[in-house]
Structures are given as structure tokens and as C-alpha cells.
Structure 1
Amino acid sequence: MLSKRTHFCLLLGSATLSSASPLARRQAQTYGRMIVFGDSYSDDGNGAWVASNHTWPADPAYYNHSFSNGPKWSNDLADTLSVELLNYAAGGATADNSFVQGYTGAESTIPVPSTRDQIATFLNTSSPRPDDLFVHWIGANDALCDTNITGAELTSLINRDVDTLFRAGARTILFANYPPVNQFPATYGSSDYAFADDYAKGVDTGLGNLVAGYSAYIKTGFIDVQALFANITNNPAAYGVDEKYVNPPTACLQGAYPSEGVPRSLCDDPERHLYFDPYHPVKEVHTRISQLFQEKLAELAG
């Protein structure tokens, strides 16, 4: 049985790109809705901003209070597929607040719904349809808030969420991972997150097992966002990113989080960055993440 863990922490909530392939575009006729559960990597302005009573994230450089400087991967993907987007993601969210409590706000003091809560909210107002596309992307805040958590523990919580969705009728569910939590500008070089690589490997193993186990019953897949970030870091020029902004990782927007302890500043070349703020990528990276989802959907349709 999972023990209860509640922690205060600084949360992840607090290049010319090619167009989608014709095969990916054909997915527009396959799905009617896309339902997203997650944290600030998916929050499009209707999560933390609402939970904080319209106080966070407040910096005007954030697009629609969404923790980035432009539309998220979810907005891009929904537009490409021409589907209705139901986005329950909230910056600062974890998988289960009874295991690791998620918070948002300038000082990370405002509770936010976990993915377990987000799924419950969805099921209280709707039911899965045969042509629904579900995305469940969680796990960074869990590690930022609890340095004792393991990848196996995180994926056991995700598995419970998937079981809930499957039993309710969900038949297409996608997952994704993150760069190791010690690779963000805010955490880079910190000894507090020495466990990050082991955690990331554990999450990858758990998600792989989850996908393998459910693939006989539903369409499911795993999006390797961690590999995308590694590729950009190792070969930034190929992605239109300036190497000085990835080695070490450097945010375009600095000082938006009080905990940074630096004056607020905004770069004039965000498209040359990997990270927009100390935790979150720029809009160009979100477009590339969307393309990874499109490729996976095309693969599942093959």
C-alpha cells in the first residue's frame, strides 16, 4: 500500500518546423475529442491560473498564463487533428495528492488537482467515447517534491489511473516522459536531485510495461520527450537552438519565480532557447512535442 507523503516544494507549475505528415493529418477523421490530464507541461491556462484565482502564473510574458511563450503541444495537436480539446491539466500537479501533494502559486502554497482528481472530474461530467484520445502525462512534480519517490511508485499510480479510464471505456491512451528533473535550469547541478537518472529510468521502464500490458486491449503508446530534450541538448544547431543556452540550460524568462532570487529579465531570442522559464520549454519545443504525438498516432493507425 502506498504511504501518504505531503511536501511543500517549488513546483513545475508554480527552429522552422516541418508540417505534420499526411498520415498524421488523416488522424483528424479518427478522433472526436482529445482529453488531457497532467501538469504545467500540458496546462494551457485553464489549470493553475484558475486554481490560484487568477494570480499564477502572472508574468505577462507567459502566453495565456500557460507556463510558456506560445501555444502548448496539446493546442497544436488538437488543431492539427481538428478535434475538441478538453484539458484538465494543472501546473504543479502530481499523480495523487494523497501520496505527493501538488501545489502551485508564487510560493507553491495553492493545492491543485492531481491526475487522479482530474480524471474524477472528467468522469463526473462526461464518459469516454469510442473516438476519444486520452493523454496522461505526469511525474515531474512528484520527483521535485519528494526525492524519495521511485519510478516504480510513480508508474503504479499512473497504472491505477489507466485502469480507471479503461474500465470507464477509454480505448486510446498515450503517455509521455520528461527530461531528468536535475536538467532544468532551476535544478541543474543541484545535489538534491542526484536520484534523477534512476527515477527517469524507472519511469521509462514502468511506462513501457504499462503500454505492453494494455496494448492487447487498447491503442496505447509512449512518447519519449526525454529523448527530444537530449537530442536538442546534444545537437542544438540542428534544432535552431544556441548552444550557450543548453550548456548549461538557461531560461529566457528569469525572475518570474520568487525563489530564483534574481531580478526579472526577458531575453529577445526565445526561439534560440530550449527553456522559456526555469522549468518549461519554449513554444517551438512544444510544436516538436506535438509532432512526436502525431507520429505515434500515425504508428498506431498503421
Structure 2
Amino acid sequence: MRFSLFSVATVVATSVVIQAVQATPVKFRRAYPDDDSSTSCRAVKFTDIVVFGDSYADNGNTYKLTKQQWPGPKYYHGRFSNGYVWPEYVAEHKGYQHANYAYDGATSDNRLVQGYTGPKADIPVPGFWQQIQLYHEHYNGQHDSKKLEDTLFLINFQGYDYHFKDDLEIAVVIKHYEQGLRWLIEMGAKHIYVIGGVDVTKTPYTLTEHGNTDQDEIHAFVVKHLEAFKHLVQKLHYEYGRPASDEKPFQWCPADYKYLYDHAHSDRKTFSHHVNVAWFDTEAVLEWLRTTPSALEKLGITNLVKGCYNAGDHTVCPTPDKYFYWDSFHLTTKVHEVVAYAIENYL
């Protein structure tokens, strides 16, 4: 199912996203030390995206793994939605090559907690660490430095670790994400964009279908997890990049290279190890959309509390274009495209 969102995307990209994500803007830049102009910043022209994640980013990997058994026939060609998911829209809109390693149910690391998928949730899937292994093995451990300069790594996980093992400490889970991110950097990744997860307490699963009495407690936990993940990204950005400033957050210009040459510190990486590591606040964008009637009207969305697809009796609503959620947890493709446009605003 395809439709034009250009006019809506303009609203989202120019006003919604700027407000929602301005705390951590993410303008990736490349500059050259031999350029004398302090104002000649050059945007990175990515050619490829590599995606690691779970069901929110999965473009059919789980479907292949389960031999076309999961998700069911009411889902769009193995996506956990009624159409494309956000990485596919980003790749299509920007003309990027797209490699995707995301699987439904994926955790931070199977060595910490194994994630599962399938109709009975009994089929093991690769976690973040294991997805990186698959990527590494695909290239036989040999990564082209030029290609990595032009590749954007996108990471998007919702926190399935806690679903499969509810007594996990947030710090432990974040530590495993850190190990994966550092491995990517060791491989030579230069541009890493962590796409924050969603707040499960805003989904139909919690809002209308289960009436969870612990909603406030779960919400507080989700916020704490996302803040810890964001803090990790900021730490890595400082370690491998430069201290972010209000004037030029995440923008790389000749003056920035001079900064690295002139201000070498023992706790920071050298010039040659510069890596862009950034955070995108997905939930902030979704919350803006939920609470902005004019944007919802432009999109034609009227139902924010129920999923169009009912997994209980396997029925689909007659007007999916009016729904925010496809099922009790996953977004409709229309909302996925809005998220994609929001992400693209900073590429």
C-alpha cells in the first residue's frame, strides 16, 4: 500500500522533528583538513544503510526464518505492518542501498537473553551482537574503509530483553548494547545512528487490550531505559567525536578537525578514529503526532488506541489508512513513513 506524504512530511520535517529532536540534533558531516574555509562544511553523501533491530525494522527476515509462517498473511509480505517499514522508506526516498539484519523478538545479545519469534514464540533469533556477527561474516571479516565512510548504520530496538527476562537491570542491557556499538566502531563504522525505541505504554497492547494496572511503573521504566541508551550514545559521541555544542551539534567542518589536532586528550580518540554516533528520539516524534490534531488530520488518522488488525479473530478493519497502529504493538506503514521522513531530516 503506497501513498504520497510529501506535504505532510514537509510539516513533520520542518517543524515537528525540529521541536521533537532538537535536544540531540544529528546532522552528519564530513570535512577535509586541507580545506581552509571554516564555513565549508560538507554533508556526508551516504550510499548505503545497514540496519540492525527488531520487528519495527524487520523487512522480511523473520518471515524467511519461519518459512513464511510468521508474521501471518494479514501482514505485508513479512513486515510487521501493512506496508513498508521505516528503513525501507529511508532507503527508497534517499536512493540508498539497504542491507537489513533485523528480526522480530531480537534482544541486545543472545549471550544475555535469547530472543524468540514465531506463532509460538519458540524460534530463536539473532540479537544485536549476533546480527553484527552476520554482517561481519557476510564480508568475511574484511571491510572496505571507503565503503564504510559512505555507510550509515541504523540501530533500532524496543527492549525485548525485558520481555523475555523481566528481572534484567537496565545497566546490564545497556552494557551489551555498548559492546555491540564498540564492535561496529572497531570494524571501521564511521556513522552510527541509534533510533530510539517506542514507549510500549502508548500502544494498544497496554492502552485498550490489557489495561495494565502497572502502566505508570512501566512507563517510568521505559523512560529510564531510553535515557540510559541516549546517555550511552552521548558518551560514545564524546569519546570518538568531539564535545557537542549548541551552535554546531554533530556538524563536522575544517575547524572541527583543527579542534581535534589542538585539543588531544587522553580520554578521547585521535583524529583518525573520528566516528559520528547520534541518537534519534522516535517516541518524541510519535508523541508529537499523537497530540497534534492538524498533523493527524492531514494524514487522515483518527484511531490512535486500537490496532487495525485483530490477532484474536484475525480480522482487519475496513479503513487501515485511518489507524496509527496496525496491530496491538506495531505501527501502520503510514506512520512508518512519517518516522522515515523525520529521520531523513537529519541526514
* TM more than 0.5: yes
- With over 3 angstroms needed to count, the CA separation of the structure-2 counterparts of 1:191 and 1:149, relative to structure 1, is farther
Query: Does the Cα contact within 8 Å between 2:154 and 2:194 map onto a contact in 1?
Result: yes
Partner of 1:7: none
* SS of equivalent residue, structure 2 residue 288: helix
Distance 1:198 1:92 in 2: 22
* SS of equivalent residue, structure 1 residue 35: strand
Partner of 1:49: 63
Distance 2:52 2:188 in 1: 16
Instruction: Give 2:332's match in structure 1, choosing from 273, 282, 288.
Output: 282
What displacement does 1:212 show? Answer: 1.9
- With over 3 angstroms needed to count, the CA separation of the structure-2 counterparts of 1:29 and 1:224, relative to structure 1, is closer
One-letter identity of the residue aligned with 1:228: V
Partner of 1:72: 85
Distance 1:150 1:183 in 2: 22
What displacement does 1:242 show? Answer: 7.2
* SS of equivalent residue, structure 2 residue 339: helix
* SS of equivalent residue, structure 1 residue 227: helix
What displacement does 1:157 show? Answer: 1.5
Verify: 1:58 aligned to 2:94, yes or no: no
What displacement does 1:180 show? Answer: 1.9
Partner of 2:46: 31
* SS of equivalent residue, structure 1 residue 187: helix
- With over 3 angstroms needed to count, the CA separation of the structure-2 counterparts of 1:86 and 1:223, relative to structure 1, is same
Which structure is richer in relative contact order (CA contacts within 8 A, separation 6 or more)?
Answer: 2
Q: Which shows bigger deviation, 237-246 or 102-111?
A: 237-246
Distance 1:117 1:196 in 2: 28
Distance 2:111 2:102 in 1: 18
- List 4+ stretches of structure 1 deviating above 6 A: 26-29, 241-244
Q: How does 1:1-302 map to 2 (within 5 A)?
A: 16-18=5-7, 30-45=45-60, 47-59=61-73, 61-126=74-139, 127=143, 129-188=148-207, 189-191=211-213, 195-215=217-237, 216=241, 217-240=274-297, 245-246=303-304, 249-255=305-311, 262-297=312-347
Identity %: 26
- With over 3 angstroms needed to count, the CA separation of the structure-2 counterparts of 1:274 and 1:143, relative to structure 1, is farther
One-letter identity of the residue aligned with 1:186: Y
One-letter identity of the residue aligned with 1:119: I
Distance 1:131 1:53 in 2: 33
- With over 3 angstroms needed to count, the CA separation of the structure-2 counterparts of 1:80 and 1:112, relative to structure 1, is same
TM-score (normalised: structure 2): 0.71
What displacement does 1:29 show? Answer: 7.0
- With over 3 angstroms needed to count, the CA separation of the structure-2 counterparts of 1:130 and 1:143, relative to structure 1, is same
What displacement does 1:232 show? Answer: 2.8
Distance 2:161 2:228 in 1: 15
Partner of 2:23: none
Distance 2:101 2:88 in 1: 13
One-letter identity of the residue aligned with 1:283: T
* SS of equivalent residue, structure 2 residue 109: coil
Q: Which shows bigger deviation, 32-41 or 119-128?
A: 119-128
* SS of equivalent residue, structure 1 residue 70: coil
TM-score (normalised: structure 1): 0.81
- With over 3 angstroms needed to count, the CA separation of the structure-2 counterparts of 1:116 and 1:251, relative to structure 1, is same
Deviations 1:145-170 (A, max 9, x none): 33323433332221111000000100
One-letter identity of the residue aligned with 2:284: A
* SS of equivalent residue, structure 1 residue 250: strand
Distance 1:218 1:204 in 2: 22
Distance 2:300 2:49 in 1: 34
- In the alignment of these two chains, the number of paired residues is 271
Q: Which shows bigger deviation, 167-176 or 187-196?
A: 187-196
Structure of higher CA gyration radius:
2
Query: Does the Cα contact within 8 Å between 1:150 and 1:199 map onto a contact in 2?
Result: no
What displacement does 1:226 show? Answer: 0.8
Query: Does the Cα contact within 8 Å between 2:302 and 2:322 map onto a contact in 1?
Result: no
Any stretches of 5+ residues in structure 1 without a counterpart?
1-14, 256-261, 298-302
What displacement does 1:224 show? Answer: 1.0
One-letter identity of the residue aligned with 1:285: V
Distance 1:16 1:267 in 2: 22
What displacement does 1:64 show? Answer: 1.3
